[in-house]
Amino acid sequence: MSRILLAPLEGLADPLMRQVLTAIGGYDWGICEFIRVTESVLPNRTFLRTCPELLNGSRTASGTPMRVQLLGSDPYFMAANARRAVKHAPAGIDINFGCPAPTVFRHRGGSALLGEPQLLHDIVSAVRSQVPADIPFTAKMRLGIADDSLAVDCAQAIEAGGADELIIHGRTKVDGYRPPAKWAQIDRVRAAVGIPIIANGEVWTVADFRRCQQESGCPDIMLGRGALADPLLARKVRGEATGGWPELIPAVAAYWQGVRQRVLPEHAGGRLKQWLMLLRRHYPEAEALYQRLRPVKAAEDIDRLLVDAGIVETLPLAA
């Protein structure tokens, strides 16, 4: 059986969203948003804030394991922070060599390191020295910065550094999130290394999932934005019966109620609209709800609208 994994989506798959998505089900494990490592050893509260699942055996409330992801360019401090993360008994440690965000790139993080295979090796090796063999240790990369000419070199450097598995997003940094993802290029890299490769990028439907498996040669797939656009996708891939939009209504309600508890009222509506913008790709009901919410700014007004729409039964408590 193929493994289906939840990607570390910065700004999208926060702890609340991870809780909602994994409650719907279908995921073997996932990765938290990245923890930015600079020239310091971060306090415990940083790890627990970014990955609160650590307080629950490194699992979401529904039991899905969540791994801690580190992002940085200094082998010594990456290793020192990995040592601190390990004290929290994470379900796994992952290193981010794929983030294409301009701010991260400018500060020599994420995909910015894909032009330096030796540095990738040094970082992975240093972190490996602090991660016990019984804790899964992975890395996530893109195919390169502007092209994929160093993709094999990077993957081989990560393998030589001691990673157990490697997740490859089938685009370069310059590609951003523009389709298509180059799944066949993942296969080229996969053939050049000995560790398992997990494919990622542009999987929105069951058909995409199967085609990605075929073109990448990877049985295991990580879902990113496709998981938010169709929260039932992982279960559909597994051949499970799903209930369409009616099954998602409680998830939307749970997400909004969680947002109202955690987010300032002036920012709450933006969070919900952001998710609906992805959901409407597959669900006309989400498009209709988005259009109703679009001009509404006040969280209290959104509360009332969601009650009227039958999404939530009672008004959420204010943050």
Q: Which of 212, 237, 262 is the last residue before a domain boundary? A: 237
Q: How confident is the model at residue 318 (pLDDT cuts 50, 70, 90)?
A: low
Q: Which helix (DSSP H) or strand (DSSP E) does residue 223 occupy?
A: strand 221-223
Strand partners, 199: 168, 221
* Statement: residue 107 has pLDDT above 90: no
213 and 152 in a single domain? The answer is yes
**Tokens coding 144:** 């390169």
Q: How confident is the model at residue 192, as a pLDDT?
A: 98
Q: What's the total number of domains in the chain?
A: 2
- 240-260 pLDDT, tens per residue? 999 999 999 999 999 999 999
52 and 84 in a single domain? The answer is yes
| Cα(209)–Cα(212) distance, integer angstroms | 5
Q: How confident is the model at residue 319 (pLDDT cuts 50, 70, 90)?
A: very low
Question: Average pLDDT, stretch 42-63?
Answer: 98
CATH code of the domain covering residue 17 = 3.20.20.70
Q: How confident is the model at residue 317, as a pLDDT?
A: 55
- 9-28 pLDDT, tens per residue? 998 999 999 999 999 999 99
32 and 155 in a single domain? The answer is yes
202 and 251 in a single domain? The answer is no
- 195-239 pLDDT, tens per residue? 999 999 999 999 999 999 999 999 999 999 999 999 999 999 999
Q: Which of 205, 237, 269 is the last residue before a domain boundary? A: 237
Let me know if 218 is a catalytic residue.
Answer: no
In this structure, which amino acid lies at residue 90? P
Domain assignment present for 9: yes
Q: How much is the mean pLDDT over the chain?
A: 96
| Cα(166)–Cα(158) distance, integer angstroms | 8
175 and 293 in a single domain? The answer is no
* Statement: residue 315 has pLDDT above 90: no
Q: What percent of the chain has pLDDT over 90?
A: 95
Q: Which domain holds residue 180?
A: 4-237
Domain assignment present for 319: no
* Statement: residue 314 has pLDDT above 80: no
- In this structure, the number of other CB atoms found within 10 A of the CB of residue 48 comes to 13
253 and 231 in a single domain? The answer is no
Domain assignment present for 318: no
Domain assignment present for 196: yes
45 and 96 in a single domain? The answer is yes
* Statement: residue 44 has pLDDT above 60: yes
* Statement: residue 93 has pLDDT above 80: yes
- Residues 32, 51, 99, 154: which is the catalytic one? 99
165 and 248 in a single domain? The answer is no
Strand partners, 35: 70
Q: How confident is the model at residue 1 (pLDDT cuts 50, 70, 90)?
A: confident
